[in-house]
Structure 1
Amino acid sequence: MSDMGITDPKRQPVESRSPAVVRQVVAFDFDGTLTVRDSFTAFLKWRAGPLGWALAMARLIPAALAYPAHRDRGRIKAAAVAAFLGGTGRKALDADAERFAEAVWSRFMRPDALACWDDWGRKGAHRVIVTASPEITVAPFARRLGAENLLGTHMAFDDTDRVTGAFTGPNCRGEEKMRRLRAAYGDDVLVLAAYGDTSGDTEMLAAAEQPGFRVFRKRP
């Protein structure tokens, strides 16, 4: 595999190889690991603007009040999607995500994480981003990185291709990260290395031959 550039916005992720071929992967969490902060919250705030942010946060009050009772991160994330993005067309969301990645890249990505990402690329590793954030908002970053694959939370769209405010599957954190890796690459997938920064990465780190917990600390 050729060395992937990390700053070229025109780079496209390499098509994932067949699960029958790929058995060894290097898995990176995205938010807080490759980036300095949560990307989805930052995207919603950037897209909404000050007034839109305040109005959407007000609509989230009932969901926030209910959270201590159920402690379901996926449920409150879906409520945020509905409040901030409900009714948005897929093409418009794709375009906004691309503009966001371009706007924040230089101040968002950890240089030591990018160096590690590039090092694995030079070794020919199959690098996969495994994130709780929606795939559609992380995809522009994955393209810039030249990621071989991206596994994230799946946002639901209706028959007119507009955001419904729900997800089509579980929030991609914790054990769900390993379930997604096994679904993509087979039950015998070998995680050569994994990098993460929260309890949501515990299972993925535990499965890795080389686990890296909060090993990236540099800021742009």
Structure 2
Amino acid sequence: MMPGATHGAPSVAFFDFDGTLTKSDTLMPFLKYVVGSPTYYTKLALVSPVLAAYLAKVLRNDLAKQLVLRHYLANQDIGVLRTKGDRFSHDIVPTMLRPEGMDRLRWHQKLGHICVLVSASLDVYLNSWAHNENFDDVICTQLQLDSSKRNGKIIDKNCFGKEKSARIELWKKGKILGETFAYGDTLGDVPMLSSVDHGYMWNRKQGKFVPFT
């Protein structure tokens, strides 16, 4: 049974995106959407060693991501990228959503809880999607602007692992809050789940969110 709503100070729920509110990763589908299939697969051959090194745990998540983004997004016109990000959030993301994750989001929203999206995915499409789904705030990885173009670099750190919990603590600073909740699906979400009153991890075998202990 899900915990009930608190009284007094507002409760807040933090949601991971990829694999929690969606059924799978959205970054690579977004990059494919931006550059088109032919270019996507050509570049994929070039970044495959990077992805393999990350999967083998010999290359950090943030470094691997930075290298992939530079290959795909360097010199992308910011206006075009924003337009494609909006379209991706409207046309593609809805087809990737996990019903159980969205049910949790709606439950918290119905109770009037503050809902915050916390993701390593990119602001260029997350901000639009989160706005349409009535999130109160977004904490995510941000792309760096280089004049009128994106240079494929990210601002500060990739919002992953310990960085998620660090940004949540920064977001909470100075706020008076009630109970805190968080939802995730991978080990990268453990720091976030450990930093709240009620953490839930998506269990693939059971097909549901289970309390994180």
TM-score tier by shorter-chain length is 0.7 to 0.9
* Cα distance in 1 between the residues matched to 2:196 and 2:203: 15
Match of 2:14 in 1: 27
* 1:58-73 equivalent positions in 2, closer than 5 A: 58-61=45-48, 63-64=50-51, 67=54, 70-73=58-61
Q: How far 1:183 moved relative to its partner?
A: 1.6
Match of 2:105 in 1: 117
Match of 2:66 in 1: 78
Establish whether residue 147 from structure 1 lines up as the match of residue 147 from structure 2: no
* Cα distance in 2 between the residues matched to 1:174 and 1:56: 27
Check 1:62–1:107 CA distance in 2 against 1; reply closer, same or farther (3 A cut): closer
Q: How far 1:47 moved relative to its partner?
A: 2.5
> How many pairs are equivalent?
196
**Which of the numbers 191, 194, 204 marks the counterpart of 1:206?**
194
* Cα distance in 1 between the residues matched to 2:201 and 2:38: 37
Check conservation: 2:10, 2:113, Cα contact below 8 A: no
**Which of the numbers 96, 100, 103 marks the counterpart of 1:108?**
96
3-state DSSP of counterpart to 2:118: strand
Check 1:191–1:32 CA distance in 2 against 1; reply closer, same or farther (3 A cut): farther
Match of 1:137 in 2: 125
Establish whether residue 36 from structure 1 lines up as the match of residue 23 from structure 2: yes
Gaps of 5+ in 2: 1-8, 209-213
Check conservation: 2:10, 2:114, Cα contact below 8 A: no
* Cα distance in 1 between the residues matched to 2:119 and 2:179: 15
* Cα distance in 2 between the residues matched to 1:78 and 1:192: 31
Match of 1:6 in 2: none
Check conservation: 1:25, 1:127, Cα contact below 8 A: yes
Q: How far 1:65 moved relative to its partner?
A: 6.3
Q: How far 1:191 moved relative to its partner?
A: 6.0
Q: How far 1:137 moved relative to its partner?
A: 2.2
Check conservation: 1:191, 1:207, Cα contact below 8 A: no
- Greater shift, 58-67 or 73-82, is seen at 58-67
Match of 2:87 in 1: 99
Match of 1:180 in 2: 167
| Higher RCO, 1 vs 2 (CA within 8 Å, ≥6 residues apart) | 1
TM-score under structure 2 normalisation? 0.82
Check 1:120–1:89 CA distance in 2 against 1; reply closer, same or farther (3 A cut): same
* Cα distance in 1 between the residues matched to 2:203 and 2:164: 19
Establish whether residue 164 from structure 1 lines up as the match of residue 151 from structure 2: yes
TM-score under structure 1 normalisation? 0.80
* Cα distance in 1 between the residues matched to 2:102 and 2:50: 36
- Greater shift, 180-189 or 195-204, is seen at 180-189
Q: How far 1:30 moved relative to its partner?
A: 0.3
Establish whether residue 45 from structure 1 lines up as the match of residue 32 from structure 2: yes
Check conservation: 1:29, 1:129, Cα contact below 8 A: yes
Match of 1:16 in 2: none
Q: How far 1:45 moved relative to its partner?
A: 1.9
3-state DSSP of counterpart to 1:60: helix
Check conservation: 1:190, 1:208, Cα contact below 8 A: no
* Cα distance in 1 between the residues matched to 2:154 and 2:16: 19
